[in-house]
Amino acid sequence: MVQIALYQPDIPQNAGTILRLGACLATPVHIIAPAGFDASDRALRRAGLDYLDHAAIHRHASFAAFREWQQGAGSRLILLTTRAPVPYTQARFRAGDILMLGRESAGAPASVHEAADLRLRIPMRPGLRSINVAVAAAMALGEALRQTAGFPEQTSD
């Protein structure tokens, strides 16, 4: 299954939105510390509302700890970054991929870029800096789930 990783997130509301996205689409979310806010369940509950009980949250004390877990899982690390040469629309996603998003304030450092198996960008108009991290996560996750047939099965209610 495709997963999301947040590299040292800065803004709790964005993290809450991404946790809600993960809950609704059955996508685990990894939070890599340190965060720029209190990332406890209590604090995230305010940002993620009542969806937090449905979210699969995994916390990692550092990027090194996350990387050890990720390599052990055999998952590909895909970094979404404005500095990537390849648009996400040209990528071929796999079921085990982890979509990583950098900090809202600074993106991801060079060491994370180097660790990524693939770096992707969202095509956008020249002269504009970036798209909100939660919106970027939703766009890339939607394409990854479409390609891997990973959307939750719909039931008729």
**Domain spans of the chain, in order of start:** 3-148
More confidently predicted of 22 and 41: 22
In whole angstroms, give the CA distance from residue 15 to residue 35: 10
Q: Which of 54, 141, 49, 144 is nearest to 95 (CA)?
A: 144
Count CB neighbours of 105 within 10 A. Answer: 10
Per DSSP, 104 falls in state T
Strand order from edge to edge, sheet including 29-32: 57-60, 29-32, 3-7, 98-101, 77-80, 118-121, 86-87
Half-sphere exposure of 123 (CA within 13 A, CB side): 6
Specify the pLDDT at position 46. 66
Quick: pLDDT tens for 13-35: 899 999 999 999 999 999 999 99
Most confident of 11-15, 19-23, 116-120, 149-153: 116-120
- pLDDT mean across residues, the chain: 93
How far the first Cα of the chain sits from its last, in Å, is 25
Q: Does domain 3-148 have CATH number 3.40.50.1100?
A: no
Query: pTM to 2 decimals?
Result: 0.94
Specify the pLDDT at position 41. 76
